[in-house]
Amino acid sequence: MFLKQLQLRNFRNYHDQLIDFTASKTIILGENAQGKSNLLEAIELLATLKSHRVSKDHDFVAQGCPEAKIFGKVDRLHGEVDLSLTLRSPGRRTASLNSENLKRQADFLGYLNAVEFSCLDLDLVRGAPERRRLWLDGMLVQVEPLYGHILQSYQQILKQRNALLKKGLDGNLPAEELDLWDQQLVNAGIKVIRRRSRILERLVPIAQSWHQQISQGHETLIITYCPSVAVGDGEVESIEQTFRERLAQRQLAEKSLGTTLIGPHRDDLALLIDGVLAKSYGSQGQQRTLVLALKLAELELIEQIVGDTPLLLLDDVLAELDLQRQNQLLSVIMDRFQTIVTTTHLGAFDAKWLNAAQILQVQNGIIKT
C-alpha cells in the first residue's frame, strides 16, 4: 500500500499542512522539536488509532484549538481510500472512511497498515509488560480489526469488575453480581488470549530467522508467551477451566486488594537471548538487534496476513544502528515498503538512499520541499 497524501490541521505543532508523498522512500529532515515525530505519529494514528507515545487526545490538538484533523489518502491493492480522524479537546473522536462517519471506530482499522520503529521501542525489551502487550495488541488490531472491539470490551468488563471489587472492600461484595462479571471476564478474556497466542505462533519463527541473520547466527532468540492464564491446547474449554481455577485461587487476594489479578491484562512476553532474559542481561547492541528483528517480523507478518505491504516508519533510528544493521534493514526495505524516515542530519544515509528519496524539510510545523 502507499500513503499518497497526508493533511494535518491543528495537529500538535502543525496548523494546516498538506503533504504529497511521491517516492517509496521519504526522509523528513529537521532540527529537534520541529515536528518530525509528530508527523509519523499522525500516520500511526491513522493506522492503529493509537500513538506509542501514549498520549491523551487533548495532547494531539494544537494548543488553543478545539480540534485536530488528520486526513490520509491511501492507495491499496483493492483501490483508494480516504481516511479522516478528528480528535477533540475535550470530546470524543470521530473517524471517517471515504467521508462517511463510522459508528464503530474498529471499522476504521485495517485500511492503512504501518510498523513504527523508534528509539522508544527499546522499551519493548526493557520496559514493563504493558509495553509488550501494547505492541502485540497494536499488531493484532492491524491484521484483525475486530480485535480492537474485542479488546475494548474486555477492558470495559475489567473496569466494571474492578469497580465492583473496590466497592466490596468494606466486606459487602454481592456474590451473584461478581459471578456474572466473572463469566463475562472469562468469555472476553479467552478471545484476547487465543488471538495473542495465535499471532505469536506465526510471529516467533519469522523473528527468530531475522534475529539469526542480523546476529549472523551467533545468537539464538526465544520468545515465549507468558499469559496470566495458561493457553494449554488452545481450546476454549481448557482455557475457560484454567481461567476459572485461577480466579478461584486468587479470589481472596482480589477481594482484599479490590482489583482483578487474573486475565490477559496481566500477560507478558519473555524475550530470551541465548537462554537469558534480554531485559536483564542483554547488552544495548543485543537489545537493538532484538527489537529490529521483532519489527522486521512484524512488517513481514502484516504483509503475509493482509496481503499488502505495510508502511515502515523509522523515527530517528537509522543513525542509531551500526552500518551492518542499517544495511540489513535497507536490503529488506528496498522498494518493497513505503518508508518514511526522520532524521536531524542526512549524513547517516547511504548515497543510494539520498538519490532515491523524497526529502522534506520541516521547520516549526511547516514542511518545505
**Judged by CB under 5 A, how many residues of this single chain contact Mg ion?**
2
Q: Which stretch binds Mg ion (CB under 5 A): 33-41, 85-93, 105-113, 250-258?
A: 33-41
Q: Which does 32 bind (CB under 5 to 8 A by kind): ligand ATP, Mg ion, none?
A: ligand ATP
| Residue located via cell numbers 519493548 | 124
Residues in the chain, total: 369
Calpha distance 123→295 (Å, rounded): 13
| Nearer Cβ to ligand ATP (8/229) | 8
**Judged by CB under 6 A, how many residues of this single chain contact ligand ATP?**
16
204-226 b/e (C-beta count within 10 Å ≥ 16 → b) = bebbbebbeebbeeebebebebe
Q: Is 38 in the site for Mg ion (CB under 5 A)?
A: no
Contact 285, 320 (CB under 8 A): no
Q: Is 32 in the site for ligand ATP (CB under 6 A)?
A: yes
| Nearer Cβ to ligand ATP (36/265) | 36
State the cell numbers at 42. Answer: 499522525
From the list 113, 164, 165, the residue with the least C-alpha distance to 141 is 113
**Alpha-carbon separation of residue 42 from 39, 126, 313 (angstroms):** 5, 25, 11
Q: Is 302 in the site for ligand ATP (CB under 6 A)?
A: no
Query: What's the min distance (Å) between Cβ of 61 and ligand ATP?
Result: 6
Q: Which does 35 bind (CB under 5 to 8 A by kind): Mg ion, ligand ATP, none?
A: ligand ATP
Rounded to 5, what percent of the chain is helix, strand, coil? 50, 25, 25
Q: Is 37 in the site for Mg ion (CB under 5 A)?
A: yes
Query: What's the min distance (Å) between Cβ of 216 and ligand ATP?
Result: 31
From the list 368, 366, 280, 316, the residue with the least C-alpha distance to 13 is 366
Contact 255, 248 (CB under 8 A): no
Q: Which stretch binds ligand ATP (CB under 6 A): 25-33, 70-78, 119-127, 167-175?
A: 25-33
Calpha distance 107→145 (Å, rounded): 7
Q: Is 13 in the site for Mg ion (CB under 5 A)?
A: no
- Please select the residue that binds ligand ATP; options are 155, 213, 251, 344, rule is CB under 6 A: 344
State the cell numbers at 212. Answer: 539469526
Q: Is 320 in the site for ligand ATP (CB under 6 A)?
A: no
The 161-190 site mask, x for binding ligand ATP (CB under 6 A), equals ------------------------------
Determine how β-strand 94-97 pairs with β-strand 100-101. Answer: antiparallel
| Nearer Cβ to Mg ion (28/46) | 28
Q: Which does 132 bind (CB under 5 to 8 A by kind): ligand ATP, Mg ion, none?
A: none
Q: Is 118 in the site for ligand ATP (CB under 6 A)?
A: no
Query: What's the min distance (Å) between Cβ of 225 and ligand ATP?
Result: 33
Calpha distance 284→159 (Å, rounded): 37
Q: 44 to 103, contacts with ligand ATP by CB under 6 A?
A: 59, 61-63
